Chain A
Amino acid sequence: MSHLEQLPPVVALLIAGFVALGTILTLLGTIGLVRLPSFYERLHAPTLGTSWGAAGILIGSMLMFSTLGSRLVIHEVFLGLLIMLTTPVTMMVLGRAALHRDRAEGRTPPGTEGPEQPLK
């Protein structure tokens, strides 16, 4: 990657900062996914990776390629948009499946308070 030398140091640092932020958040999300006690809680952790985790990496990528001027930089905007629009689908399917199972087996979800009204 010889063209990396064309990057001004300030921009390189900025990009490194954004990419580091994104990857750290994604890593924390996966750690949470492994370590949290209940299913509903584990549902929250990966959203770190799909919100600012993804945004950090994408902003870094946009900065890098707009500085180098090698191509138009709105690919990342579409990537971010598609990630944001598709995550809720998976999330709802998983959440409702868990809820359905808990209702069918007649128990309150483990590690959590039940809703104010009893689960139907």
Chain B
Amino acid sequence: MTLLPHPIVTVVLTILWMVLTGFTLGQLVLGLLAGILGGFAYRRITPRRIVVKRPGAMARLFVRVAGDIVRSNYDVARLILSEGRHHRRKAGFVRIPLDMTNPSGLAVLAVIVTATPGTAWIEYEPRNGQLLLHVFDLIEGDDWVHTIKSRYESLLMEIFE
């Protein structure tokens, strides 16, 4: 039995509490209390502690994703304005076999895929690790399986597994 089953949740909740109320000692105590309670509540949903093994890789992933989000925002905005390259744009599904099984890694991947316009996470099949992705602009020759696996999945596996 530990006081901090999820240290990350506790720290984030405490900081959020102090940002919203004020940076005083009293609020720190209250915030810590809320954070610790939050950590226990979160354990009911996620029993195992989430471990970030390589914070450096996390930073690298963050920079990479930030760049991708800017690029895909531009692409999708242009496609909407040009009526999908004058109706030649083709959308479609892509199946991606994932090797990663770590739930935190999958959750972060879902956030990345959703935050980059142009890709939508539709369904993940835990039995065979297949992810069904909907791609807004399916350009012939673009290898989405390779893109997802090499750009995000390998780094995420370094971080969480």
Query: Which chain A residues numbered 6 to 51 have a C-beta less than 8 Å away from chain B?
Result: 25, 28-29, 31-32, 35-36, 38, 40-41, 43-45, 47-48, 50-51
**Which of the residues B80, B92, B114, B118 comes within 8 Å of A28, measured between beta carbons?**
B80
**Which of the residues A28, A31, A48, A84 comes within 8 Å of B111, measured between beta carbons?**
A84
Given contacts A28-B77, A52-B73, contact A43 B120 (CB under 8 A): yes
Query: Which chain A residues numbered 61 to 107 have a C-beta less than 8 Å away from chain B?
Result: 72, 74-75, 78, 84-85, 87-88, 91-92, 95-96, 99
Given contacts A72-B19, A78-B19, contact A99 B122 (CB under 8 A): yes
Contact pattern, B 5-17, Cβ under 8 Å of A = 1, otherwise 0? 0000000000010
Interface centre among B19, B23, B94, B116 (most CB of A within 10 A): B19
**Which B residues touch A25, using CB under 8 A?**
73, 77
A5 at the interface (CB under 8 A from B): no
Interface residues on B, range: 20 to 34
Q: With the chains together, A35 CA to B87 CA distance in Å?
A: 12
**Which B residues touch A112, using CB under 8 A?**
91-93, 134
**Which A residues touch B80, using CB under 8 A?**
28-29, 31-32, 35-36, 45, 48
Interface residues on A, range: 35 or more
Given contacts A88-B110, A88-B111, A88-B114, contact A96 B91 (CB under 8 A): no
Spell out A's residues near B (CB within 8 Å). Answer: 25, 28-29, 31-32, 35-36, 38, 40-41, 43-45, 47-48, 50-52, 72, 74-75, 78, 84-85, 87-88, 91-92, 95-96, 99, 109, 111-117
